[in-house]
Amino acid sequence: MGKEQTNPNAIWGGSVLLAILFLLLGGLKLLGPQFGVDVGEQFRQSGYPDWVCPVLGVVEVVAALVLLVPRVAWVGAAVLLVITAGYVWTSWQLGQPTQMLLPGLLFFTCGVLTYLRFPKRSLDRS
């Protein structure tokens, strides 16, 4: 049996799509109130302080940009993995299992991308 092959174009395409999504989500957290969209209200209803929403917005935007740098893309994916885990946990704690679907899907996608983008050379040393 041969080694498993992954398509680098598919991995790059997935990284770009995920980066665009998190740039939009993070940007909405930062600029939403200026455009009449208050994403922070959901955070307040979940019991988080007001400062959490813009901080997460900045982290999402930075992680999305890091996701576009091939050498450190796995770091951006890992940060987004932690953030989406927090979204899933919050939905679980609030007893809203239907609200876990999108964050859960993003969590899975970030996990797969973290695995695929992790530098193979550090794993091959034996």
* Beta strand extents in 3-62 (DSSP E only): none
What residue ranges do the domains of the chain occupy? Answer: 11-118
Enter the DSSP assignment of 3. P
The pLDDT of residue 64:
96
Please give the pLDDT value at position 79: 95
Residue 73 tokens read as 């893309």
Let me know: does 52 contact 59? Beta carbons within 8 Å: no
Of the candidates 65, 60, 70, 62, the residue with the CA atom closest to the CA atom of residue 12: 70
pTM of the predicted model, to two decimals? 0.82
Count of positions (residues) in the chain: 126
The pLDDT value recorded for residue 2 is 46
Write out pLDDT tens, residues 19-55: 999 999 999 988 877 777 777 788 888 888 988 889 9
Spatial neighbors of 6 by CB under 8 A, at least 6 apart, are 116
Instruction: Show the low-confidence residues of the chain (pLDDT under 50).
Output: 1-2, 121-122, 126
pLDDT given for residue 3 in this prediction: 56
Helix 73-93, helix 101-117: angle, nearest 10:
160
Q: Residue 1's pLDDT is what?
A: 44
